[in-house]
Every structure is written in structure tokens, then in C-alpha cells.
Structure 1
Amino acid sequence: MEKTYPIYRKLEGFGRYYKIESPDLFIEVSLLNGKPQYQSIQAVQYPEKLRIRDMIACEFSFTEMSPDEITAYFQ
């Protein structure tokens, strides 16, 4: 099944939000003192690529972001 990017996920309970742009690239937003901090992460090693697969599959506390969360952090 073909995936349509970007895919948005969050790590439940940790204040971290993700915009997955491809199977090996994502942007992570973490909140520091209430302000979003952005980091672009290129997955080069196999464990990093597995992490992206887990995000997409909503494994290990990764969940879908709401439209309001997407707007707040990525629009």
C-alpha cells in the first residue's frame, strides 16, 4: 500500500510531535518551556528507520495527531 506523506504522529504523554516527510526523514517538535523546538532528522541507520516505521504504524505510544495539533505545530 502506497503511503501519502506527510504523516503526522505524536508520542503520547511526552509533548513530542512528528511530521514524517518520507521513509527516512522526519521533523520532531519538542516543547521546551512551552515553546516549540524543531529538529529535522535524517534516518541513516537501520534503528532510525525502524523508529519511523513504528511511528507510522502507531506502535509504542505513537498516536495520530489531531487536526488542531497539526495546525498548531506544522502550519
Structure 2
Amino acid sequence: MENIFPIYRKLDGFARFYKIESTDSFIEVTIVQGNPQQQRIQAVQFPEKLRIQDMISCSFNYIPMTEEEIIRYFQ
């Protein structure tokens, strides 16, 4: 099976960007006073794992990031 990760998503209408590394971990970038801040999230509980599935499937206002956004926040 082909490895599909990383997957990049953003929350439409908010300054939140995500690099999904696996079905149970991701990095979230938030913009605080103009500065990007990263936080690594390890999904342990079922609701957290469902959130990652929503990100992957582009549900609930999660949309793909542009190439420019990926380079800006994750390279």
C-alpha cells in the first residue's frame, strides 16, 4: 500500500494549518500576532482520531493547502 502521508490541510476562514503525518499524529500551525507557532498533536482518544479523519477527507471546513502555504509553514 502506498504511503499517502504527509497530507496538508487548513481550516477555512482561520489561520490554522495542518501537516498530517499519520492517522494518529499531526502538526498544527497557528498564527499568533503574525508569528507561526507549531504544536505536535498525538491522537490518543477516539475523538482526536476522528478529527484527523475529518481533515484527511476535507470535512467540516478543512480544505487542501496551496503549495505556497505548505512551503511557508512547513518547509
Structure 1, unaligned runs of 5 or more: none
Classify the secondary structure of the residue corresponding to 2:10: strand
> Could you state the TM-score of these two structures normalised by the residue count of structure 2?
0.96
Structure 2, unaligned runs of 5 or more: none
Aligned length: 75
Q: Displacement of 1:2 after TM fit?
A: 5.0
The corresponding residue for 2:16 is 16
Measured against aligned partners, the alpha-carbon deviations of 1:43-71 in whole angstroms (never above 9, x if no partner) come to: 00000000000000000000000000000
What percentage of aligned pairs have identical amino acids? 63
> Could you state the TM-score of these two structures normalised by the residue count of structure 1?
0.96
Output the aligned Cα RMSD.
1.1
Classify the secondary structure of the residue corresponding to 2:9: strand
